[in-house]
Amino acid sequence: MALTDDAIEKIKQMIVSGRVRPGEKLPREADLAAELGLSRNSLREAVKALSLVNVLDVRQGDGTYATSLAPSLLLEALSFIVDFHRDDTVLDFLEVRRILEPAATALAALRMPAEDMPQLASILDSVTVNSPVDDFVAADLEFHKNIAIGSGNSVLASLVDSMSMPTARARVWRGMTQPRALERTLSEHQAIYEAIINRDPELARSWATVHIAGIESWLRTALAD
């Protein structure tokens, strides 16, 4: 394993140093192994590992390429890990959301293009307190995803999106069991939206914190009961 780790580190340094740029093809296996001082078996294992986390793209019959290295692509591995969360870890995901989303919402108030704001309004208008809970939560997820994208930070947007899905079931549960939960969510979403369109980052941050903290507080109580 140590030999494979060494091979992974050497390939990573090739990319970080600019020796191989995003989208470029790596030298053929024999040449690359000689250049890096690696056995071909170690090199193959390293390439396999790096392709699993979307750093390398192995194209049969063509060669091995560095990927675009876009954050959303590299963070797909995180999404895979997140899919294995257990119900008792949902509070951990909400805690991370409470840290990340207020920052993303404040940035969206500063950076979201004006032409993207009607989409937020459209999502808000797509549901009411009488909508099926599943539809309501789907709109909720879309609302938060669009805000994260509006932050203008692709890494932050990918992280927010990854952290959001594991809490979807808890949101459905809340909508079905907590009195006036849907009304409260709509009201808080409206306040967040207005802070964004008014370009008020601190108010947007505050409302996002209140919004996520409210869900977290409800779930802690519900689980304790």
pLDDT of residue 77: 59
Positive or negative, the CA dihedral 101, 152, 184, 129 is: negative
Rg of the chain in Å (alpha carbons): 22
Q: What is the pTM of this model?
A: 0.66
Domains identified in the chain and CATH numbers: 2-69 (1.10.10.10), 84-224 (1.20.120.530)
List helix spans (H) across 112-200. 117-125, 133-150, 154-164, 168-177, 181-197
Across the chain, the runs of DSSP E, i.e. the strands, are: 56-59, 63-66
For residues 48 and 58, give the distance between their C-alpha atoms in angstroms, rounded to a whole number: 8
Q: What are the backbone dihedrals phi and psi of residue 66, each rounded to the nearest 5 degrees, phi first? A: -70, 140
Tokens standing for residue 135 = 């539809």
Amino acid identity for residue 170 in this structure: A
For residues 89 and 87, give the distance between their C-alpha atoms in angstroms, rounded to a whole number: 5
Among all chains, which residue has been given the structure tokens 């609302």?
143
pLDDT in tens, the chain (225 residues): 466 788 888 888 888 888 888 899 999 999 988 988 888 888 988 888 888 778 889 998 898 998 887 776 666 655 555 444 455 577 888 888 999 999 999 999 999 999 999 999 999 999 999 998 889 989 999 999 999 999 999 889 988 888 887 777 777 778 777 788 899 999 999 999 999 999 999 999 999 999 999 888 888 887 776
